[in-house]
A = this chain, B = another copy of it.
């Protein structure tokens, strides 16, 4: 569990003013035992249901994008109509359960290192992401 003052420094250190909205969002996102995945909608709902204060949707969008830009969140794109964010910012891969629409982190003991033998000339690799879609056996696959 983090103290409020830790979030204040975290924000200040990255040039973001520690406003009460941002601190509340920090609390919701980072005061947890485990990292997790969420959509903007999940977050907005979480805040409005569990707290008296209401934060404008625009602010939630702005803050999530600011946190992403500062590297406090990663965005994971599964499909064009669903954008997930991940509080686990370490390099890792995902399983996506097509039955439940749930995203599950992979550990290194689940997916081995991806061997990139040749990169595009003159370019640097900025990320390597594996997405393993899974579904129950009865489901049709593509």
Query: Does the CB pair B127–A142 fall under 8 Å?
Result: yes
Say whether A12 faces chain B, with CB atoms less than 8 Å apart.
Answer: no
Say whether A130 faces chain B, with CB atoms less than 8 Å apart.
Answer: yes
A82-115 contacts to B, CB under 8 A, are: 82-83, 95, 97-99, 104, 109-112, 114-115
With both chains docked as a complex, state the minimum distance between the C-beta of A78 and any C-beta of chain B, in angstroms: 7
Query: Does the CB pair A129–B130 fall under 8 Å?
Result: yes
From DSSP, what is the main secondary structure of chain A's interface residues? Answer: strand
A124-142 contacts to B, CB under 8 A, are: 124-137, 139, 141-142
Interface size for chain A: under 10, 10 to 19, 20 to 34, or 35 or more residues? 35 or more
Query: Does the CB pair A124–B142 fall under 8 Å?
Result: no
Q: Which residue of B lies closest to A136 (CB)?
A: B123
Complex: A83 Cα to B77 Cα, angstroms: 10
With both chains docked as a complex, state the minimum distance between the C-beta of A118 and any C-beta of chain B, in angstroms: 5
Chain A residues at the B interface, C-beta cutoff of 8 Å: 71, 74-75, 77-83, 95, 97-99, 104, 109-112, 114-120, 122-137, 139, 141-142
Add 11 more A-B contacts to A110-B118, A111-B116, A124-B141 (CB < 8 A): A95-B119, A97-B123, A99-B123, A104-B120, A114-B130, A122-B136, A124-B139, A125-B133, A127-B142, A128-B131, A128-B132
